[in-house]
Amino acid sequence: ILPSIPSEDRIAQIKKLNDWVKKKFKLTPQGIWLTERVWEPGLVQDVAAANIEYTMVDDSHFLSAGIPQDQLWGSYLTEDQGVPLRVYPISKALRYLIPFEPPEKTIDFLRGIAAEGENRVALIGDDGEKFGVWPNTHELVYKQGWLKKFFELLVENQDWLKLRFPSEGLREKPLGKVYLPTASYTEMMEWSLPAEEQTSFHHLRNEVESQNVDHAKFVQGGFWRNFFSRYPESDHINKRMLMLRRECKSYNNGQTEEAKDLLLAAQCNCAYWHGVFGGLYLPHLRDALYERILRAEKSLDALRYENGDWVETKQHDFDCDGDNEVFLRNSKLTLVLSPNEGGSIQELSYKPLAVALSNGLTRRAEAYHTKVSQAVLKEVAEAQPKESEDGSVASIHDLVLAKEEGLESLLHYDTYRRTSLIDHFFRKDTSAKSFHQGTYGELGDFRDNAYEVATVAKPGWAILSLRRQGTVWAEGEPHNVMLEKRLRLNADQSHLTIDYTLENMGDSKLKTWFGVEFNFGLLAPDSPTHRYRMTDGSDQPFNYFGEDKDQKKITLEDSWRGFAVQLDWERPAGLWRVPVETVSMSEEGFERIYQASSVVPHWKVELKPKGMWSMQFELKVTPTKDP
């Protein structure tokens, strides 16, 4: 998505693809397809600087700028700071006709346009997936002959219907000058809104359309960049990429070519947003971005440090949310902690294999979740007639399918971000089930509130201290409690030590139930290569749900990528293991997606007045394959 990346990278991305096209097809492109048709006026200069003469955006962009529908059959000129660019409107009507309606309807539509004036240009630009990948389209387009019939009709009508490339239209005079607002296609503008507001927007637009369909063109939705505020996980990846991109400027160009190329790859849009399709909800897409980012970080580390004998801490508001995050790094691990969100670990990455161990996703309400209970199983829908009486087929936006039964029972939502090192004081009636469902109660104010930060860095090691003096309720009474967690990272080790201390600051005894939550996003929920390894020799898949007693250690092994995460703690603990699973939309309907494994050791703690309780964790990441 070009507006979401630096200006110089916009130019680099366009030139990189155009160079490939030129080499492959011996042709230099003159135009550009804007990813997801996300338009911002500031793109003009960068697109033109990449030697591009035209682009195309949805006709809704033009309509909202006040251009009448009957004046959209051609191209317009826009400019920014005196730099011009030709812009074509993409016909929404054609996008919905092709290939979902019989081909004759498309010809009739084009005939109607031609009848209203000479030299009119109707442009169709859309996803190739609708020709065989989207539900039912392979059957329709190929087996039922939609595509063959469409081509035959184009040939039969070539006396009045001409096919040409958009670049050929550059020889024609533009229809006028236009300044387009920030926009994408209508559905994208809706998806970028908060879930609860999408329903309100949908109702408003339908209400306006029912009263005067022409007025609806002025009812716009949100703004693409709001996906970064809707989904902090997306924002984190984007801002990590941007942070490293800025770091590249500290070196000579020739030194950072590898890192810059990896960061360009980490700008691939799919995992940064979510609408009808999986997108951000697909862990392997997020993992692919993290892999490039971590490989780029490792490349830049090699420029900054002569060897692996280093460790550093840094406080920096890298995601521009108004609060400093803390980076704790060495040659093997990168940790990003958020003191203002419970002192939690937002990122835990293992750089030798470029794996983000924290690649999870918080369970959130989506506007389409109201339809989950109405969804029809995919195989049932496939057994039913696909066409209406007039030969039309439902668009992907109209289908309500499910890939398995009972998905409504998985609609649980989190009230905090599912990261690691999250401090819980549980209510007495909490269970693994209520924790999994998000219906349990907290008796402390530590989970997602602010912690004080202190760091010490010496040659060979660094310590990060996070402290909070807060309240824990017990037997209906508030108790003043100091909680400190100290993280120690040594140079050139993938081994983290975490020391916890709870101190009862009050004058009365405190009995409480304390737990620390870790979330590991390791891609595969049920695979022989992705297993929990327990001290009794048993193993379970990562989507295992259960509770164990008197545990002091757990290992999560990914033998496919070749590493294991071992978590030890000093005192025997109860241990919950619950999968973090979401329900989201995909091309084939609603689906369950494994996002992470939540591991929660917990203890019943009794503190005398002014008494203290301590606990040490050891977290180790080790390779399980030879390099």
**Catalytic residue numbers, as ranges:** 36, 127
AA letter at 521: G
Provide the CB-side half-sphere exposure for 171 (13 A, CA). 4
AA letter at 19: D
CA distance 43 to 38: 10
Provide the CB-side half-sphere exposure for 593 (13 A, CA). 25
AA letter at 530: H
List all residues 6 or more positions away from 105 whose beta carbon is below 8 Å from its beta carbon.
97, 392
Closest CA to 503 of 487, 485, 483, 486: 483
CA distance 385 to 331: 58
The DSSP string of 150-196 is: HHHHHHHTTTT-----GGGGGGSPPS-B--PPSB--HHHHHHTS-HH
What token pair was written down for 432? 């693994």
Estimate the share of the chain in helix, then strand, then coil, as percent rounded to the nearest 5: 35, 30, 35
| Other CB atoms within 10 A of residue 93 CB | 16
Closest CA to 426 of 480, 472, 476: 472
User: Quick one: three-class SS letters along 23-79?
Assistant: HHHCCCCCEEECHHHCECCCHHHHHHHCCCCEEEEEHHHHHHCCCCHHHCCCCEEEE
AA letter at 545: F
List all residues 6 or more positions away from 512 whose beta carbon is below 8 Å from its beta carbon.
425, 443, 444, 472, 474, 479, 604, 605, 607
Q: By the 8 A CB rule, do 347 and 334 touch? A: yes
Q: What are phi and psi of 169, to 5 degrees?
A: -75, -10
